[in-house]
Amino acid sequence: MVGNKERKSAEASSLKVNANIFAAFFRIGLLGFGGGPSAIPLFHIEAVKKYKWMTDDEFGDTLALANTMPGPIATKMAGYIGYRINGVIGCLVALFASVMPTVLMMILLLGILQKYKGVEWVNSMSQAVVPVVGVMLAVLTWDFLKKSGQSLGWLRAIILTVLAVILMEVLSIHPAFLIVALLIFVFIPSKKGGEAP
Amino acid sequence: MIYWSIFLAFFIPGILGYGGGPASIPLVEKEVVDRYGWMTTQEFGEVLAIGNALPGPIATKMAGYIGYMEGGVLGSAVALFATIAPSLLLMLVLMVTLLKYKDSPQVKNITKLIRPVIAVLLGAMTVQFFITSTESSGAVQTIILTIISFWMLEVKKVHPAFVILLAIVYGGVAGLI
């Protein structure tokens, strides 16, 4: 697709493109508090509004697609957008920029905490954090339940929830089996038409 | 071999966590705490708390750190690769096909049907955290901290990083007394 003359200028500007990719995803990584899903508006600002790497519709498609796949949303978005702009290199630059800064901060902060683990008041610090995380998880749990109720209907959501409790918590079946079973169930053409959208 | 264990511990949550990074938290906990015993629930809580106080995607922060603890820089790289690569590669390879099916009812049903399962996993983890807290800080402390942090986070909408910082300061002061 790229001619010989164009190739040289493309290579020259490749560095600038990579720098832009790095800057965009670095900003998203550092400004997005609350995990990947809460950073989605930031992706939109950088990729659509600021750098015009994609249109609104393309962004919507990418997001919808990323949502159908498992795994963290932020790295799927970063990797895919980076790949679209500048191939494999673009993909790697985008991933590096969105992941590395905060991983390094984690290692640094938790490293300090580990070092003073034996000290009574440091230990008490980390104990005090546990119920706060509990509250955050409780809120997240409710969030997932509420969304289930809204999208599946409460009756079906509750049946599935109770089933999941029995299988995973009472019978101690690994969640992988349940999730894979559900995946298979989704793609089996149902005779009863039980799976209304 | 430790790197293979690290890979598996993050690969499984990576391919099963429908609903973004937060959905994979309980799956990671299952592997890291229950299966491999690399850390206790409280230690996992610390990692999660610091992770929540910092910006950026949560799944990769946890993977990068836990991988580093278990296998150094290479372990960190392996954990990150296992978290990121499978779903990203699928997305890149299947792009054309997936775009065609992104609106199909089956594909949309995947996330819908798996959501309650994730909710149960998150719920079970929540209970575990409160039990751990009661065992280490006592019931009274746990209840007070729970009520205050719930009020701050959900009623007053205070930034999580700030609430975690306050809890840390409180814990430090309480430990000194």
The ipTM (two decimal places) reads: 0.79
Work out the minimum CA distance from A69 to partner chain B, whole angstroms: 6
Give A71-101 pLDDT, tens digit per residue. Answer: 888 899 999 999 999 999 999 999 999 999 9
| Residue B118 to residue B27: CA distance in whole angstroms | 9
**Residue found under tokens 């106080």:** B53
How large is the average pLDDT for residues B144-163?
Answer: 89
**What pLDDT shows up at residue A176?**
82
C-alpha triplet B125, B131, B133: angle, nearest 5°: 105
User: Would you call A24 an interface residue with chain B, using a CB distance cutoff of 8 Å?
Assistant: no
CB spacing of A68 vs B111 below 8 angstroms: yes
Q: Is the dihedral of CA A27, A33, A34, A39 positive or negative?
A: negative
For chain B, how many residues are written? 177
Q: Which burial class, exposed, middle or buried, applies to A24 when counting CB atoms under 10 A from its CB (0-12, 13-18, 19+)?
A: buried
How large is the average pLDDT for residues B84-99?
Answer: 82
Give A3-42 pLDDT, tens digit per residue. Answer: 566 666 666 678 899 999 999 999 888 877 767 677 888 8
The reported pTM is 0.79
User: Would you call A126 an interface residue with chain B, using a CB distance cutoff of 8 Å?
Assistant: yes
For chain A, how many residues are written? 197
Q: Break chain A into its structural domains and give their ranges.
A: 1-115
How large is the average pLDDT for residues B31-55?
Answer: 90
**What pLDDT shows up at residue A5?**
61
- Identify whether the C-beta of residue B102 lies closer than 8 Å to the C-beta of residue A65: yes
Give A140-186 pLDDT, tens digit per residue. Answer: 889 889 989 998 899 999 999 999 999 988 888 888 888 888 888 88
